[in-house]
């Protein structure tokens, strides 16, 4: 199978421990937002300051380049076309599902590489967050967790949650001054998830459509708690 092109950061790339002592035992697949690339969140990895005994592989896939209607048809990295910027975000459903499928393929690849599904975390920012909501909650094997940032739950009305992930830990992060994806959309996701029986954590920060140092610290704490459980 042809996989998405990805930036991969191995534990030996950011850990101070000798490389020979590091055996990867968990993976975080982290999707970027509209117009960005897999390199967008790569610099965050060392800033998480994970303990040396946590052997986590970070995978940052690149979205394909496609025309984006709301940006005048400009070709850019995007997980799907956005046709209208209303509260429901009218989108290209086939492109959305294709991106969900290629994300799930990356999970399957990690399993083939020896990582248990229960040691795989899905994470996504903005458009990437919309994709990982669908990918994680419909996946047929239990995952370690789901982390969404500055995003919205695009398929909250149609999603068919798989029983394997009905208890998945979820943490939503959002900027309270976000002009691109208003925080109301993050709170709508929270309400929708609670209606589906989940118990998400929710954190907000006084920033716009971005990630701040306080959030990076909180992400580190969450990942450490999650992957040490």
Question: Among 131, 143, 217, 129, which Cα is nearest to 174's?
Answer: 129
Residues tagged active-site? 126, 178, 209
66, burial (CB in 10 Å: exposed 0-12, middle 13-18, buried 19+): middle
Q: How far is CA 168 from the centre of its chain?
A: 14
Tokens 């002009």, residue located: 179
Report how far residue 119's alpha carbon sits from residue 126's, in angstroms, rounded to the nearest whole number: 23
At residue 11, the 3 state secondary structure works out as helix
Cα 17–Cα 29–Cα 211 angle in degrees, nearest 5: 85
Q: How far is CA 1 from the centre of its chain?
A: 22
Question: What tokens does 115 get?
Answer: 């990582």
Report how far residue 136's alpha carbon sits from residue 145's, in angstroms, rounded to the nearest whole number: 8
Question: What tokens does 100 get?
Answer: 């969900």
């Amino acid at each position: 199978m042809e996989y998405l092109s990805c930036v991969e950061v191995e534990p030996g790339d950011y850990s101070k421990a000798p490389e020979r002592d590091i055996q990867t035992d968990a993976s975080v697949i982290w999707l970027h937002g509209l117009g960005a690339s897999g390199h967008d969140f790569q610099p965050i990895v060392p800033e998480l300051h994970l303990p040396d005994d946590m052997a986590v592989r970070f995978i940052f896939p690149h979205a394909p380049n496609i025309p984006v209607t709301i940006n005048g048809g400009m070709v850019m990295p995007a997980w799907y076309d956005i046709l209208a910027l209303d509260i429901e975000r009218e989108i290209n459903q086939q492109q959305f599902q294709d991106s969900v499928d290629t994300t799930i393929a990356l999970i399957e690849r990690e399993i083939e590489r020896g990582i248990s599904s229960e040691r795989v975390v899905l994470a996504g920012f903005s458009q990437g967050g919309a994709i990982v909501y669908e990918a994680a909650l419909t996946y047929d094997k239990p995952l370690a967790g789901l982390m969404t940032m500055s995003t919205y739950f695009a398929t909250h009305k149609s999603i068919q949650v798989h029983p394997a992930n009905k208890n998945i830990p979820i943490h939503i992060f959002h900027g309270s001054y976000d002009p691109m994806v208003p925080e109301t959309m993050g709170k709508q996701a929270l309400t929708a998830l609670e209606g589906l029986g989940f118990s998400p954590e929710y954190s907000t920060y006084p920033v716009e459509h971005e990630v701040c140092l306080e959030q990076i610290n909180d992400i580190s704490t969450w990942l450490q708690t999650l992957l040490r459980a």
